[in-house]
Amino acid sequence: MSSNEKYTLNFSKPEKIYFVGIGGISMSGLAEILADAGFTVSGSDRSSSAITQGLEAKGIKVFYGQKYENITADIDCVVFTSAIRPDNPEYKAAQELGLKTLTRAELLGQIMKNYSIPVAVSGTHGKTTTTSMISEILLAADVNPTLSIGGVLPTIGGNVRVGGPEYFVTEACEYTNSFLSFFPKVSIITNIEADHLDFFKDLDDIRNSFRKFAQLLPDDGALIIGGDIERYKEITDGLGCKVITYGLEKKDAYGNPMDYYPENITYNELGRASFTVVSKDERREVSLQVPGEHNVINALGAIALADAIGISHEQSAASVHNFKGTDRRFEYKGVVDGITVIDDYAHHPTEIEATLKVAQKIEHNTLWVVFQPHTFTRTKAFMKEFAQALSMADKIVLPDIYPARETDNLGISSATLCEELRKLGADAVYIPSFDRVENFLLENCTKGDMLITMGAGEAYKIGESLLGK
């Protein structure tokens, strides 16, 4: 997505920036940061949403519907996401007018250059929660951070916070290699697994991208990396920066001592952990208000990063305790007719397994999961792994796949996944439409059951509809 000339941000001379797809969780955050810095910001999206309404309330002009005539010659730069295709009318207009363009990732990278300590949180899983925990630590430490999070953090009432010029914290997604446009001083790599196989060839291709991401760090920077990542030294070898490992075990993937690990993990009746953080220089007690073993790991990464940038140990431990979660991460939605409704963003087999392990620690009768698979590519690539993970639930309901950017169904559907589940002896049913799913649940769920709506698409709407929201 490049035009004749790349645009370079000049914060001392703010100009006119247009965002195609301004209502996205990341694009909206960048739009707010630029608007606050004095840039004249406008953009378009398909339809009105809480995010676009929030932008409008801040004086940002939003066009509904992406149209050629929205792009005018006085725009200094047009920003696109990787989802925008060359036949998009606004993209075509920008090209024909010879306007400068930036991808979302390129813009984010340029924004990072404006801060003293840019922090980038990457990995296949755990990015949003780890970024949010770091955000809580920096907010409590009163260092006035600028934040760009891939989910809504209740503490800041959204996904973005504009702060001072020192700390900038953002998620760094590997999809389309967007994180290779970044300029971090400190980075986290939570884990590396196969995903986004509509872009990457295989796991080795993904690992190669994470290696390039690690190499972006300056010699006076730091990389905090999951020490249980297989052959992680292929990612870190030869780096000039400090490398810090963390994970659940005392030893890393090579049998060396882990820099940060937990001891004495216990869980309460809500699945929330208390544990001792063991690091080279001390032991400290931590308790969480978010459930699951995966959040123990997320907290360790956030604490390791906080130590690396000089936040006090007491502050980081207190802040991760105060963290109450982000939207769509095992989010309690309410109770209807005695049925507890939870929503979760899990859309990869590893995430599903982590979520269902949490659910199993909480008292319930029957555990229902309504899982909407996200993209045909991911569903086909992990068909057996999805079935294995989902079979941890008592009953599974599968609506149609959420296609996102994809148009080719690759000859599969949710019915295919349902067949795989039944081969494992799981109680699974394929019900294409949300309306029919709701009716099925109303007829079959009973008092004391737990219902989890799950996926990166729109499955959350089913739970909200049942609750009358």
pLDDT exceeds 90 at position 82: no
**Phi, psi at residue 435, to the nearest 5°?**
-60, -45
In this predicted structure, what is the pLDDT of residue 431?
A: 97
pLDDT exceeds 80 at position 8: yes
pLDDT exceeds 90 at position 460: yes
Q: Give the least confident one: 190-199, 212-221, 371-380, 442-451.
A: 190-199
Burial zone of 23 (CB within 10 Å; 0-12 exposed, 13-18 middle, 19+ buried): buried
The arithmetic mean of pLDDT across residues 51-65, rounded, is 95
State how far the Cα of 253 lies from the Cα of 451, in Å rounded to an integer.
36
Which pLDDT band, with edges at 50, 70 and 90, does 426 fall under? Answer: very high
The arithmetic mean of pLDDT across residues 32-43, rounded, is 94
In this predicted structure, what is the pLDDT of residue 5?
A: 60
Tokens encoding 233 = 């030294």
In this predicted structure, what is the pLDDT of residue 160?
A: 87
DSSP codes joined into one string, 105-149: HHHHHHHHTTSSEEEEEESSS-HHHHHHHHHHHHHHTT---EEEE
Q: Give the least confident one: 23-27, 37-41, 225-229, 324-328.
A: 324-328
- 65-74 pLDDT per residue, tens: 999 999 999 9
Tokens encoding 413 = 């559907």
pTM: 0.80
To the nearest whole number, what is the mean pLDDT of the chain? 93
Helix, coil or strand: residue 467: coil
Burial zone of 387 (CB within 10 Å; 0-12 exposed, 13-18 middle, 19+ buried): buried
In this structure, how many other beta carbons lie within 10 angstroms of the beta carbon of residue 3? 17
State how far the Cα of 438 lies from the Cα of 133, in Å rounded to an integer.
34
- 243-276 pLDDT per residue, tens: 999 999 999 999 999 999 999 999 988 889 999 9
Integer CA distances (angstroms), 327 to 135, 150, 324, 345, 373, in order: 15, 10, 10, 9, 19
Which pLDDT band, with edges at 50, 70 and 90, does 91 fall under? Answer: very high
State how far the Cα of 145 lies from the Cα of 165, in Å rounded to an integer.
8
In this predicted structure, what is the pLDDT of residue 3?
A: 45
> Are β-strands 146-153 and 158-161 bridged in parallel, bridged antiparallel, or unpaired?
antiparallel
What are the counts of helices (DSSP H) followed by strands (DSSP E) for the chain? 15, 21
Adjacent-strand bridge partners of 265? none
The arithmetic mean of pLDDT across residues 107-123, rounded, is 94
Residues annotated as catalytic (active site), given as ranges: 127-128, 171
The tally of CA atoms less than 13 A away on the side-chain side of residue 236 is 20
Element (H, E) at 245: strand 242-246
- 264-310 pLDDT per residue, tens: 999 988 889 999 999 986 899 999 999 889 999 999 999 999 999 99
Tokens encoding 291 = 């459930």
Terminal-to-terminal C-alpha distance of the chain: 40
pLDDT exceeds 80 at position 330: yes
In this predicted structure, what is the pLDDT of residue 271?
A: 83
Q: What is the spatial order of strands in the sheet that 331-336 belongs to? A: 331-336, 339-344, 450-454, 367-371, 395-398, 427-430
The arithmetic mean of pLDDT across residues 174-185, rounded, is 92
